[in-house]
């Protein structure tokens, strides 16, 4: 029996893809082992969103071959799709992009049988949604469902549309079947995700709200959480459609990138700060106390001190529950790579630091706002101090006395930074 180890860089979609391929190998009789130990085969699922993602991917491929020169390497994911030749290093036997993942076992076995490197990366013509099934999410009560793939937004800074392909969606009947299967396996919370989730159903008779409604009706599903959304999706009609769905968690990750109208225009984002603020207010009117989280990109080409300050002020005005901050990373082949006035790395880092500090303050304030409220907490992991870690519906980390898998009504009695503590009521 051959052994195989897995490592994932990047987003939740990559993590989902890795787990799906892991289960394919497991069903084929391979022994799954820890990535930090010895294995016959290593799979590295790469990321190319930023230069850092590229560097980490390449460094890891080289390190694994150096430490395990007789092992076979599978390199897959976005960097492999973008630059198969670059990742075809010594030891690599299979290069797999973001397609043909369902055939990964057969492709590897062909490479080993014929003693060759198999390049299974092809172009993006005639792509359809590749249904992958994940039945286990180790140690969790929450499972991720990838229901959408690809993106056609072509934001100026982003390489993803070039490597993930066009928009395509899991058929609604398969969404229902996958949700029911996961519920039957005991997963109480399902996270609906995709590369551009708001595009779910493009070219079909369905839209994202139909997928949410379908999962809402699946017996055994207790919570539904959504991946990243775009402000133009948050219309009055959309909000009114999701309002009756009591399983939907009141936490919305609303992609922002910048709070400056000038920067958003150069980024080719399809909304203004005013439109973003309107979307946030719609959600808060419908879901009082909901958590709104976001991503912010610092140091986009041409970003002035004034524009950076506009973003700081806008983040403060919206009052996010959490923000993820990323310094802009040049990506060859994107519009932004050719723009003038590239911002120095030190300036990017300084602006990112300011935003991170503000984000931490806002997160602390949001968690404090839950003091003395009663929250439904779904517990996941027992900690060494006897408490159990779980998450409120707003995706706030809560520690209390409980067992993994339990859902309890918890009164929040104290907070510390991003963590809340409580007792059962």
- pLDDT per residue as tens digits for the range 247-274: 999 999 999 999 999 999 999 999 999 9
Residue 416 burial by CB count (10 A; 0-12/13-18/19+): exposed, middle or buried?
A: exposed
On the question of pLDDT at 148 being above 90, the answer is: yes
Distances (CA, A) of 113 to 55, 71, 103: 31, 14, 15
Name, in order, each residue with C-beta under 8 angstroms of 421's C-beta and a sequence gap of 6 or more: 398, 399, 400, 412, 413, 414, 415
Residue 93: pLDDT band (50, 70, 90) is very high
pLDDT over 90 at 124, yes or no? no
pLDDT at 131: 74
Q: How many Å apart are CA 140 and CA 262, to the nearest integer?
A: 42
Alpha helices in 39-125 (DSSP H): 51-67, 78-82, 84-87, 104-113
The Cα–Cα gap between 329 and 156 comes to 12
pLDDT in tens, 312-329: 999 999 999 999 999 999
Please give the distance of CA 29 from its chain centroid, rounded to a whole number: 29
């Amino acid at each position: 029996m051959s052994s195989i180890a897995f490592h994932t860089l990047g987003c939740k979609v990559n993590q989902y893809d890795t787990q799906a391929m892991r289960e394919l190998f497991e069903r084929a009789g391979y022994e799954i082992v820890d990535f930090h130990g010895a294995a016959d085969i290593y799979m590295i699922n790469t990321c190319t969103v930023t230069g850092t993602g590229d560097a980490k991917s390449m460094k890891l491929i080289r390190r694994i071959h150096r430490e395990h020169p007789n092992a076979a390497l599978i390199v897959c994911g976005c960097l492999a799709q973008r630059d198969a030749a670059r990742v075809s290093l010594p030891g690599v036997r299979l290069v797999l992009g973001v397609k043909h993942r369902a055939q990964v076992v057969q492709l590897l076995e062909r490479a080993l049988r014929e003693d060759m490197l198999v390049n299974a990366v092809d172009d993006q013509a005639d792509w359809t949604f590749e249904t992958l099934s994940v039945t286990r999410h180790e140690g969790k009560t929450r499972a991720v469902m990838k229901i959408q793939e690809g993106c056609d937004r072509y934001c100026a800074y982003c390489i993803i549309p070039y490597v993930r392909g066009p928009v395509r969606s899991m058929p609604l009947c398969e969404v229902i079947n996958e949700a029911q299967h996961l519920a039957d396996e005991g997963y109480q919370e399902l996270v609906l995700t995709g590369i551009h989730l708001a595009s779910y159903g493009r070219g079909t008779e369905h839209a994202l709200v139909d997928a949410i409604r379908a999962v809402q009706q699946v017996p055994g599903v207790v919570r539904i959480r959504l991946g990243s959304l775009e402000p133009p999706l948050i219309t009055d009609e959309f909000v009114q459609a999701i309002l009756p769905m009591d399983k939907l968690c009141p936490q919305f990750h609303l992609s922002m990138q910048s709070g400056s109208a000038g920067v958003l225009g150069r980024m080719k984002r399809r909304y203004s700060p005013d439109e973003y603020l309107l979307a946030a207010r719609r959600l808060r009117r419908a879901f009082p106390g909901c958590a709104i989280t976001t991503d912010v990109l610092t140091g986009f080409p041409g970003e002035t001190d004034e524009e950076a300050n506009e973003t700081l002020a806008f983040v403060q005005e919206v009052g996010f529950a959490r923000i993820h901050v990323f310094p802009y990373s040049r990506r060859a082949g994107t519009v932004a790579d050719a723009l003038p006035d590239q911002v120095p790395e030190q300036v990017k880092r300084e602006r990112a630091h300011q935003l991170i500090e503000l984000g931490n303050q806002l997160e602390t304030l949001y968690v404090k706002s839950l003091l003395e409220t009663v929250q439904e907490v779904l517990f996941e992991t027992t900690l060494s101090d006897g408490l159990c870690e779980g998450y409120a519906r707003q995706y706030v980390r809560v520690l209390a006395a409980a067992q993994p898998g339990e859902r309890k009504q918890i009164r929040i009695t104290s907070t510390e930074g991003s963590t809340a503590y409580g007792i059962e009521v």
